[in-house]
Amino acid sequence: MSILVLHGPNLNLLGQREPEIYGSSTLNDIDQALIQLSAELDAKIQPLQSNHEGSLVDAVQSAAKQHQGILINAAAYTHTSVALRDAIASVGLPAVEVHLSNIYKREDFRHHSYIAPVVVGQISGFGADSYTLGLRALVNHIRSQH
């Protein structure tokens, strides 16, 4: 089993960007934790971070040929990108949306997710653990479907 892990804009700055909101873990720390967990789950991950909406859309569109699911933190694109939402809906792969912070405890504009209606579920507010919880949930979901 292979899972595409997508990290959206500004997540490359984790560890230095607003640590009071996003914690002290770096993106590399998160990817390493996901690699370790994926091995325990007998799965593989392919992480990709991009600040560019089109690159994330391209990655989602290509995913169906090589992955069985998508773990995505669309970051700011969660609240703005119909294109990313449509790409996820189009490929037919199960996806889980994750966020480091609890987006519902933050500014009002962060309360709406264009991604949520087209994913299996959403996990937010657990810092870096949101990713590992999301990966575990996604792998379990995929296995339950087969």
CATH number for the domain spanning 132: value is: 3.40.50.9100
What pTM does this model have?
A: 0.94
Model confidence over 88-111: pLDDT tens digits? Answer: 999 999 999 999 988 887 778 778
Q: What is the C-alpha to C-alpha distance for residues 39 and 111, in angstroms, rounded to an integer?
A: 34
Residue type, 79: H
Determine the pLDDT at residue 43.
98
Q: What is the C-alpha to C-alpha distance for residues 79 and 20, in angstroms, rounded to an integer?
A: 21
Determine the pLDDT at residue 22.
66
Q: Which residues are annotated as a binding site for substrate?
A: 73, 79, 86, 100-101, 110
- Which residue carries 């949930």 as its tokens? 137
Determine the pLDDT at residue 41.
98
Which residues make Cβ contacts (< 8 Å) with residue 24, sequence separation at least 6?
15
Q: Which residues pair with 73 in a beta bridge?
A: 7
Q: Which residues of the chain have pLDDT under 50?
A: none
Q: Are 75 and 27 in contact (CB under 8 A)?
A: no
> By CB neighbour count within 10 A (0-12 exposed, 13-18 middle, 19+ buried), where does 145 fall?
exposed
Q: What is the C-alpha to C-alpha distance for residues 46 and 72, in angstroms, rounded to an integer?
A: 12
Q: Which residues are annotated as a binding site?
A: 73, 79, 86, 100-101, 110
If one counts the domains in the chain, the total is: 1
User: Catalytic positions, please?
Assistant: 22, 99
Three-state DSSP class for residue 67: coil
Q: Can you give the residue range of the structural domain that contains 45?
A: 2-144
Which residues make Cβ contacts (< 8 Å) with residue 58, sequence separation at least 6?
none
- Residue ranges of E strands in the chain: 2-7, 44-49, 69-73, 95-99, 121-124
Determine the pLDDT at residue 94.
98
Determine the pLDDT at residue 61.
98
